[in-house]
Structures are given as C-alpha cells and as structure tokens.
Structure 1
Amino acid sequence: MERRATFRTPLLPWLLVLPQLLIIFVFFYWPTGEAFVWAFTLEQPWGGGREWVGWQNFFEVFNSAHYWSSVKVSIVYAVGTSILAIGAALLLALFVDREVRGSRHWRVALIWPYAIAAPAIGMIFRFVFDARAGIFSVLNTISPNAWDPSLNGTHAMLMLILAGAWQLVAYNFVFFLAGLQSIPRALTEAAAMDGAGPMRRMRDIQVPLLAPTFFFLLVINLTDSFTNSFGLVDIMTAGGPARATDLMVYKIYADGFKGLDYSGAAAQSIVLMGLMVLLTFVQFRFVERKMHYR
C-alpha cells in the first residue's frame, strides 16, 4: 500500500520549499542568467551600459592562445589529480576494510581530511613544498635548484596535483569503503577457503565489483578538479609561474576581477559550465545505467 503525504492547504508545501527555492534562484539561476547576458554583450568595467556583440566574446576566447593553454593545464591537472586520488583512496579502502586491530580508528582518521577547507590545504602544501623552508628544500641541498615551484612550471603543477589529490582522497575513500562493505562476505570467504590469498581476492573479486563506484568517482573527481580548484591555485601558485598553473576556473577569475574583462570571463564560464553539463550527462547516461551487476 502506497502512502502519500497530504497537506491541509495546497499553499503549505510551497511555503516549505520556498527557502530552498530562493537559495537556488539567488545563488545559481540568477548568476547563471547574468553570465549568459554578459557573454553575448560587451559589459563596461565601471558601468555605463552594455552593447550586444553576439558570439564575438566566444570567438575571442577560442582564438586566444592563453585560453587553450589554460584548457591544456586544466586537463593535465584534472586527469593527474583524479588518477592519484582514486588510486590512493582505493588502496587505503582495501587495507582498512580488513578486520584488524585499530581498523575502525583508521577509518575515522582517513575521513577527517575532507573537512579541511581548500585555502587551508593550499597554505599547508605551500609551506611543505617551499623551496627554501619546506621539506622538499632538502633536494636543493643535494643539488642546487633541483626543486623550485616558484620558477619551474612542472614543479608547480606537480605540487598542485598532489594537493588536489590529497583533498579528494578522503571523499573517494568513503565511497570505496562503502562499496567494499556492500560486497557479500560469502564471496571473499569462499575464495579464502579455496586458497586465494588477500591480494588474489582483491584483484579478482573486490576490485572488479567496485567498477560502478570507480566510474562514478572518476566523473565526480574530474568535475571537482575543473570547478573546485580555485582555492588551491589562488593560495599556492596564483596561476604561475608563467601561466603554468593557470587553470580554467582561475583564468575566469583573473580575467574578470583583475583584468576587468567581464564579458570574456562570462563567456569562459559558459564554456566551463557546458563542460560540466557534458560530464554530468556522461555520468547519468553511461555510468549509472550501464555499470551494474546482478
């Protein structure tokens, strides 16, 4: 028998959802609508009206070498961060899932890092990887200028990828651990009785059954790397050196708030939003519907 909630007046349910609707409208739909308007107009930096220019802002964005360089480094960052974060989280979840002494305490400890804000993570990693006072400064005592993220773009990108991956490991760990605990224990116990060791059970039973979780986290990590990396970039590298870490989300901020190119920044934000919509479509269309086991 299906039970449905009933209200005495038809106005009550709308009043209950009104605060959430207002938050969504003010902080999502309104800014998105303004970005669409600015992307097709020439917005004056200090006000004074706007001029309709159609697709001109998009043409300028796609013809900019700096923008395509930003796209390239964003892809490198997203792929590197996702692979490293997913691999580390899967390894930790596989080891913590075993019922050994202290495993429950390790589970709680590995979840905590996700509660740390990105600017705080950026400050910590910036100090750790500092070429003069950080832990990695030992490399410069062995070989001069062996490590300097403030001058070497490759070093700066590596530092940023490690910080971004560390930020996402805890989030991925929760999903992998939940996926491991949903696997029937009868499967692993039967494999153990047949003589399969822990590594063999991980490789042939647990990891294949985690395929839906893996592909879900891959899309989520890629999306997060493209959109939520601003705090790390702003604190750690500010897009440098020489635009080596000028990710798409940071370039939007730099062009809009520093360069006062509101229209160009709005066009870039529309392109980034389209990329996120595409990744979300892939997730719902291919990952969640086709990756399942009976």
Structure 2
Amino acid sequence: MVPLEFCTFEQERTTLDLALGIALMLVATSLSLAVLHDLTQRVVGSKGLLASGETQPGAFKGRSASVTAFVLLLPTLLILAVFLYYPMLETFRLSTLLARLGAPRSAFICLDNFTRLMTNTGYINSVVISFTLAIAIVILSLSLSLLIATMAYQPIRGGSIYRTLLVWPYALSPVIAGIIFRLMFNPTAGVLNHILDSLFGIRVPWLLDPAIAPWTVILSSTWNIMGFCILFYIAGLQSVPKDLEEAAAIDGANVFQRFFRITFPLLSPITFFLVVTTTTYAFFDTFGLIDFLTGGGPVNSTSTMMYEVYVVGVQARDLGKAASQSLVLFLVVIGVTILQFRASRGRVSYGA
C-alpha cells in the first residue's frame, strides 16, 4: 500500500469544476453509446447488413432476425464492452482524479491533470520526440521497403526464398527486436562496435549519446517494421498491369519514368495504408523496443509519449496523470490519422 501522504490533495474544487467534470463524463458516455447504437443499426437495423432480402430468405425476417442477430453478436459485444468500452470510460474517469496505485483515497481534480501536462516541459519534450521518431520511421521504412520490394519482385532464381526472408523480421515482436539490437549496439561488447573498431579504430556510443540514441531507435524500429511494408508492396506490385508498363516502354519511357508515372501512382492506396499503419506503429508499438534498447534514455532522449505513460503509471504509480497522458496520446494519433486521410484526398488513385 502507498501511504496516504504520497497523495497531495488540493483544496475542494468549485461547483463549476465539479459540473464540468460530470459533463465531460456524460459526453464521453454518450459518445460511446452513440457509436454502439450506430454500429447496431448498421448491422441489424431496418437497412442494416442483416436486413436485406439476400440475408433473410424465407421466414427468417423481421423481429426474429433482429433477435437472432443480437444473440449472434452478443459474445462479441460482451468482449468489446469488457475489454474496450469499459477500459476507455475508466481511463477517462481516472484522468479527472488525483489517484495513486495502492492509495486508499483519491480526489476529483477535474482537468488539472491535462493542464499540468501542457506546462510540463518533460512531457512536451516527449511529444516532440514522438513526432520526430514517427516521421523518421515512416519515411525511412516506406522508402527502403519500396526499394527492396521492387528489387525482390524481379524474376530471379530463388526469389520466393528471398521474399520470405525479407518478411521474416516482422515476425519478431518489438521486445525481441530490442533485445537483439541492444546486443548489437552494446558500446563495449557489441558486434557493430567490434567491426568499426577493427576496421577504423572507432567506437560509437550508440546507446549512450543523446544525439545518437534516437537514430539507433529509428534504425531498429525501421528494421522491425520493414517486413510488413515489403509484404504489402510486393502484393501491390503483383497487381500492377504489365500491359501499361509494356506500352510505356514501347513509347520510349525509361525505367524511372515507368516507375514514377505508372507503378508508384498505382501503389498509392497501399502507400497510404502503410503510412497510417506505420504511424500507429511508431507511436504505440515501439514501446517494447525502446524499453529494452534504451529505457527512454539517455537523458530522456528516447522517451516517447507511450513510454511516458509507462513511467508515470507503472513506475511512479500516478494513475490519474498516466490516464490523462494516454488520452492525449490517443487523441494525437486520431488527429494525425484524420489529417492523413484529408491530405490523401485527390492524391490516392484506386484504379488504373
């Protein structure tokens, strides 16, 4: 148990603060219920997926169809309610509290956890680091993956074996990748420094220099996600019509012109999908790699928003602050995704 004195309770909140907090909780609950209602209507409503004539032959119509649909969906809805909707509401509730793990009491502080984040230089630094790593990982992983996928797609002997080996890194979890690269980048016994020392007589502080450690994380994360990107790019290259490339070649277009004017535009849907998924990976899934590779250091140079949630919530046991950070992270990723969708309008071609 954490002693009560470790929880610093402020003065009683004003009536306005209390009303604002309750209103925000009601809004969050209403939005969740609205999403659930909309999903239900889309599936079992009068114009839903299960209400068409094709899915209701014979006597399987009307009320019985809705009841049957609800019975079939009930296990999934229960799982979503227990493992998705309830944790979301509980996270929002905790974000309005001054609460520590193990403390017998908590206090309602409305939006103080959020306002303190906006003035916390350490947290703002983690936001900058998160965006920097995400941008670098997305650009580097997609560029290298497209290049490697284009080379691997060429008709060569044993091509299927090479393609399988290229996808293999994605089968490793970020935690395992972090352990592997920690051994490789070890300042004293790492294989990379051993090679550099043997050839050039230098040793690079991959994990000890605040200016180099972020790039170490970027390279490791890129290697880990590249297999996923290569897999989709190879699948996309297989769907590019050969007759278009052949016609362009007959018209005198060189290799680069055919690639940038035919192949790459036809790969734009896959590229957009990979931008979204790789961005999500950079914000969320790099946590395990960072935890084992650098531990957020040195000097917090690799401490991302996701890693800050872990440090504050698990190590410092500040549940309220960690909950507010997780909500901010969620909103940031949602906002970035929406911007990506808006930016892609008119630039993504879904047909030849």
Q: Where do 5+ consecutive residues of structure 2 fail to align?
A: 1-51
User: Aligned partners of 1:221, 1:15: CA distance in 2, in Å?
Assistant: 36
User: Aligned partners of 1:236, 1:224: CA distance in 2, in Å?
Assistant: 17
Number of the residue aligned with 1:25: 81
Amino acid across the alignment from 1:270: L
1:251–1:140 CA distance, 2 compared to 1 (3 A): farther
Three-state SS of the structure 1 residue aligned to 2:189 is coil
User: Aligned partners of 1:274, 1:147: CA distance in 2, in Å?
Assistant: 37
* TM-score when normalising by structure 1: 0.91
**Which of residues 187, 207, 214 is equivalent to 1:131?**
187
**Superposition CA RMSD, Å:** 2.2
User: Aligned partners of 1:2, 1:101: CA distance in 2, in Å?
Assistant: 51
**Which of residues 47, 51, 54 is equivalent to 1:3?**
54
Deviation by residue 1:191-211 (Cα, 9 ceiling, x = unmatched): 233344434422332123222
* TM-score when normalising by structure 2: 0.77
1:75 to 2:131 alignment: yes
1:53–1:289 CA distance, 2 compared to 1 (3 A): farther
User: Aligned partners of 1:154, 1:22: CA distance in 2, in Å?
Assistant: 47
Three-state SS of the structure 2 residue aligned to 1:154 is coil
Q: Is the 8 A contact 1:239 1:245 kept in 2?
A: yes
1:259–1:37 CA distance, 2 compared to 1 (3 A): same
Amino acid across the alignment from 2:276: V
**Which of residues 161, 164, 183 is equivalent to 1:108?**
164
User: Aligned partners of 2:65, 2:125: CA distance in 1, in Å?
Assistant: 57
Three-state SS of the structure 2 residue aligned to 1:228 is helix
Amino acid across the alignment from 1:172: C
Amino acid across the alignment from 2:110: G
**Which of residues 336, 339, 350 is equivalent to 1:279?**
336
User: Aligned partners of 1:180, 1:267: CA distance in 2, in Å?
Assistant: 43
Deviation by residue 1:126-171 (Cα, 9 ceiling, x = unmatched): 1111111222213356455x41133201221111111111111111
> Which is bigger in relative contact order (C-alpha 8 A, separation at least 6)?
1
Q: Is the 8 A contact 1:140 1:147 kept in 2?
A: no
Number of the residue aligned with 2:24: none
User: Aligned partners of 1:98, 1:50: CA distance in 2, in Å?
Assistant: 62
**Which of residues 88, 91, 98 is equivalent to 2:154?**
98
The structure with the larger Rg is: 2
Q: Is the 8 A contact 1:74 1:226 kept in 2?
A: yes
**Which of residues 234, 244, 252 is equivalent to 2:291?**
234
Give runs of aligned pairs for residues 1-294 of structure 1, distance below 5 A. Answer: 3-5=54-56, 10-138=66-194, 139-140=196-197, 142-143=200-201, 146-287=203-344, 291-294=348-351
User: Aligned partners of 2:322, 2:142: CA distance in 1, in Å?
Assistant: 31
Residue 283 of structure 1: CA displacement?
4.4
With 3-12 and 214-223 compared, the bigger mean Cα shift is at: 3-12
User: Aligned partners of 1:289, 1:197: CA distance in 2, in Å?
Assistant: 26
1:212–1:40 CA distance, 2 compared to 1 (3 A): same
Amino acid across the alignment from 2:307: Y
1:3–1:155 CA distance, 2 compared to 1 (3 A): same
User: Aligned partners of 1:4, 1:223: CA distance in 2, in Å?
Assistant: 36
Amino acid across the alignment from 1:252: V
1:104–1:286 CA distance, 2 compared to 1 (3 A): same
Deviation by residue 1:49-86 (Cα, 9 ceiling, x = unmatched): 32111111111111111001111111111111111110
Q: Where do 5+ consecutive residues of structure 1 fail to align?
A: none
Amino acid across the alignment from 1:3: E
User: Aligned partners of 1:97, 1:18: CA distance in 2, in Å?
Assistant: 45
Q: Is the 8 A contact 1:153 1:241 kept in 2?
A: yes
Three-state SS of the structure 1 residue aligned to 2:98 is strand
Q: Is the 8 A contact 1:78 1:225 kept in 2?
A: yes
Amino acid across the alignment from 1:48: P
Q: Is the 8 A contact 2:129 2:302 kept in 1?
A: yes
Identity %: 34
